[in-house]
Amino acid sequence: MQSPERYLETITNDDEYDLAEPKSPEEPIDRFGVRASLLMLCVGLFIAAAWMISRPSFEKCLALQNATERYACYDNVRAELLKPPAKGAEAPGAPLRSPR
């Protein structure tokens, strides 16, 4: 066990290593940027996971015992996957040009 005098010598001054207090005006802005980026990353990963779960899959068709129902299920899943996007994802056939 250390003597009380020796223990007090090992305690450092906390003012030197105070990391909770920003030292420059840019540090709070940088912290906000990092936190906002991490939040947006988490939201994006959550949306991607929800999208992957909600997509139609062939796994539910495998559980059907009747071959006719199973083939109909495969046709429905294929038709669902081949549908075009809802809006805005189709690019125009020809590039837009301004009239001269």
Mean pLDDT value across residues 90-98: 56
Question: What is the pLDDT confidence band of residue 65, given thresholds at 50, 70 and 90?
Answer: confident
Mean pLDDT value across residues 5-27: 63
Q: What percent of the chain has pLDDT over 90?
A: 22
CB atoms within 10 A of CB 91: 7
CA–CA gap between residue 84 and residue 87 (Å, rounded): 9
CA–CA gap between residue 15 and residue 22 (Å, rounded): 12
Burial class (CB in 10 A: 0-12, 13-18, 19+), 84: exposed
Q: What is the DSSP letter of 14?
A: T
Query: Structure pTM?
Result: 0.46
Who has greater pLDDT, 48 or 3?
A: 48
Q: Could you give the residue ranges of the DSSP H alpha helices within the chain?
A: 4-10, 26-54, 59-62, 67-81
- Which has the closest alpha carbon to 70: 79, 81, 60? 60
Residue ranges covered by each domain of the chain: 25-81
Task: Take residue 49 and report the two structure tokens written for it.
Answer: 């996971």
